[in-house]
Amino acid sequence: MIRVAVDAMGGDRGPEEIVAGAVDASSDTVQPVIVGPRDLDTQGLELIEAPDVIAMDEKPAEAVRAKPNSSLVVACRAVGERTADAVVSAGNTGAMLAACLLELRRIPGVRRPAIAVTIPARRGPSVLLDSGANADARPEDLVQFAHMGAVFAEEILGVARPEIRLLSIGEEPEKGSLLTREAHRLLAATDLNFAGNTEGRDLLTGAADVVVTDGFTGNVALKVTEGTIQSLLEGLREEVTATAVGKLGGLLIRPAARRLRKRLDPDTYGGAYLLGLRGLAVIAHGNSSRRAITNAVSLAARGVEKDVVGRLAQNLGESVLASRPSTTPTPNVR
């Protein structure tokens, strides 16, 4: 039985929505455990008591320090103390990151964890990381992100020998920033299936199975994608409803638009893994629906089942050894 600690008090829609999503996710193999205040109606699910709440707008590090008994921190601690196998929260992302670093700790050799977001690309799902765990990264961090993304793509997306690309501003290795140019060099020297740079233009088409970037760029890219989808669909609605003929056409294409929207819906994936830690953590969208929470719990359970954390520890341990400075450059074994 896989036990997933679910932070009932995170997210914008309130604990009822989250408990309902957790109930839907419970099965013969998955047992969600609700973390929240004593008087919460858990719909029959087990409760781990946590009297405090961290709000969405609290300063992450301070909130985590000041509220060790908040639902978010207690849920993370449950994984750290092995009373749960994974944690899901739709709460304050920064606080989740801080609580995970504190309660789960990093895999030895990992300098920075990364948020791995699944992009519903046209060619099939691909994973973008780091999507915002750290605003600043070093070239070596990007190599670790590539290893993490490869494990994610193999175990969760089911891709053998996933193709990895580096997000940059030109396809040639010499195009890009100091960070990406050096990361390109390091990635080419690993035994990963590194296929070079990709440009932002291909993110939603399906540039690669794994797209590696620093958390600042990844977060901007993700939000630009979301904003563009929303603006474009609103703009289209505006133009379509401007004429009677357009309105009729709009009615007729409604099912098609709905199918497209569903394909692009972040709720389909439920949440993003926070990778590089000694336990499995899933960060769900603040505005997560019941369905999103169900999917987030399933995503967490799948990660436990596939031993993503163990695989990461193994691969990153090897990559840490392999990336030790040497006087001769490591050959590109691709």
Binding site for a second copy (CB under 8 A): 122, 132, 135-136, 167, 169, 175-178, 180, 199-205, 215-217, 219-236, 239-240, 242-243, 245-246, 248-257, 259-260, 263-264
Measured from the CB of residue 20, what is the shortest distance to a second copy in angstroms?
Answer: 28
- Distance CA(97)–CA(35), nearest Å, equals 17
DSSP state of 38: T
The answer to whether 108 and 192 have CB atoms below 8 angstroms apart is no
Nearer to a second copy, 46 or 136 (CB): 136
Nearer to a second copy, 42 or 126 (CB): 126
Measured from the CB of residue 126, what is the shortest distance to a second copy in angstroms?
Answer: 13
Nearer to a second copy, 59 or 106 (CB): 59
Instruction: With CA atoms as reference, report the closest residue to 104 among 36, 31, 33, 5.
Output: 5
Measured from the CB of residue 104, what is the shortest distance to a second copy in angstroms?
Answer: 23
Q: Where are the beta strands (DSSP E) in the chain?
A: 2-7, 30-36, 47-49, 86-89, 114-119, 126-129, 164-168, 194-199, 210-212, 272-275, 280-283
Nearer to a second copy, 11 or 176 (CB): 176
Nearer to a second copy, 32 or 91 (CB): 91
Cα torsion angle, 112, 299, 205, 158, sign:
positive
Measured from the CB of residue 221, what is the shortest distance to a second copy in angstroms?
Answer: 5
Measured from the CB of residue 183, what is the shortest distance to a second copy in angstroms?
Answer: 12
**C-alpha triplet 299, 268, 193: angle, nearest 5°:** 65
